[in-house]
Amino acid sequence: MKLDRKEILSVLETISIAGEGKNMVESGAVQNVMTFGDEVVVDVTLQTPAMHIKKRAESDITNLIHEKFSADIKVKVNIKVEAPEKPEIKGKSIPGISNIIAVSSGKGGVGKSTVTANLAVTLASMGFKVGVLDADIYGPSMPIMFDVEKSRPISVEVDGKSKMKPILSYGVEILSIGFFTSPDQAVIWRGPMASKALNQMIFDADWGELDFLLLDLPPGTGDIHLSLMQSLPITGAVVVSTPQAVALADAKKGVSMFMAESINVPVLGIIENMAYFTPAELPENKYYIFGQEGAKNLAQDLEVPFLGEVPIVQSIREAGDYGRPAALQQDSPVGEAFVQIARNVVEQVVYRNESLPPTEAVKITTMAGCSSVKK
């Protein structure tokens, strides 16, 4: 059969490469298409060395040509990788901390802190070294969730400097703005004070070696978020939402804040919390109290990964109040849900680190409230 180069190109226009918005012809990934009798050779240049993306591009091209023309065609896909040069991190990286993950939510009360605490203990139980920085200045909840409400960080000498020692609970190193306020005191941090305190907990703390530092951000998209992104090279952000329309609208704003060109923090994905309710006595029954798969659909619409769902379970609330994250019970449905989510988060971090350069701390010079961050 006579193969036409142009027809092949137009067929390839229907394929896009994971992580790139445009199709592979428009993005310039397809460099050349040659036909020799019943053989097609496609030269492709990818921007990422990730093996699964290479394999996917190869199989997508082969399958589509077989499907659209003939299964007898010999397809050869030559893949070259031209990864963009990795610039140096310009923000202050923290020695010893490999990945900083911001956990955020657009709306308050959707379970962002609960998800942070449970994700942290799950990652720790998988053998990772994990820290949590509770940056929720309006309602720091990590001290209660980790049962260390009465603890106060001590000062230790590291290389001649005195540093704050995080509190260790369930294998997770924790610092919280809550350690420095009394529980019944109304939080009256002004933006600059809070930013200064957070900077101390980040840079003047003895975190040691960590694979993951999870940042529990305040809800919304405010000053504190910008300050933290300005002072820290955040590896990626995770957005927590319930499936409810009002929460989703705010989650969307959260995702677009991270994705804004001036901020550019990779979004690792969305977690759906309170996805459905299952009564303990009827585990097969699922009630979609806040709507069904709203956050999953949002992830699809925004083309960001969906990291998993957590049901509404009484034990999650009780465990949070009692100070023992529910996911510590690994064989339970909650424990299993968090293992799945933690695996997906790790996978996304690995993929992100393979395919993108390190995040630069955002340089914001005009936003009110950010000038307090130490230069």
Ligand X SMILES: Nc1ncnc2c1ncn2[C@@H]1O[C@H](COP(=O)(O)OP(=O)(O)OP(=O)(O)O)[C@@H](O)[C@H]1O
- Residue numbers at the binding site for ligand X (CB under 6 A): 105, 108-114, 136, 139, 141, 219, 273-274, 310, 312-313, 316-317, 320
**Cα–Cα nearest to 195, from 321, 4, 375:** 375
Select 275 or 370, whichever has its Cβ closest to ligand X. Answer: 275
- End-to-end Cα spacing for the chain: 66
DSSP state string for 271-316: EEEEEEE--TT-TT--B-TT-SSHHHHHHHHHT--EEEEEEE-HHH
Q: Which is nearer to ligand X, 274 or 307 (CB)?
A: 274
CB nearer ligand X, residue 99 or residue 114? 114
> At its nearest, how many Å lie between ligand X and the CB of residue 294?
15
Smallest distance, ligand X to C-beta of residue 219, A: 4
Closest distance to ligand X from the beta carbon of 118 (Å): 9
Q: CB-wise, 84 or 109, nearer to ligand X?
A: 109
Nearer to ligand X, 141 or 359 (CB): 141
Written as six digits, the tokens of 298 are 């949002």
Sequence-ordered alpha helix ranges (H) in the chain: 5-12, 51-68, 112-125, 142-145, 191-203, 223-231, 245-259, 294-302, 314-322, 333-355
Q: Which residues are documented as binding site?
A: 106-113
For ligand X, the closer CB: 91 or 139: 139
Least distance from C-beta 37 to ligand X, angstroms?
60
Token reading at 95: 């020695």
Considering beta carbons, is residue 100 or 310 the nearer one to ligand X? 310
Rg (CA), the chain: 23
User: Looking at beta carbons only, is 52 or 317 nearer to ligand X?
Assistant: 317
DSSP strand pairing (306-312 vs 267-277): parallel
Binding site as annotated, residues for ATP: 106-113
Place of tokens 């900077």: 199
Strand partners, 104: 239
CB neighbour list of residue 217: distance below 8 Å, 6 or more residues apart: 102, 103, 104, 105, 112, 135, 136, 224, 225, 228
Residue 214 burial (10 A CB sphere; 0-12, 13-18, 19+) = buried
Residue 107 beta carbon to ligand X: minimum distance, rounded to whole angstroms: 7
Shortest distance (Å) from residue 338 CB to ligand X: 10
Shortest reach from residue 279's CB to ligand X, in Å: 13
For residues 312 and 72, give the distance between their C-alpha atoms in angstroms, rounded to a whole number. Answer: 52
Q: Which helix (H) or strand (E) holds 132?
A: strand 130-134
Q: Specify burial of residue 136 (Cβ count, 10 A radius: 0-12, 13-18, 19+).
A: buried
Residues 171, 149, 152, 120, Cα dihedral to 10°: 30
Q: Write down the least CB distance from residue 141 to ligand X, Å.
A: 5
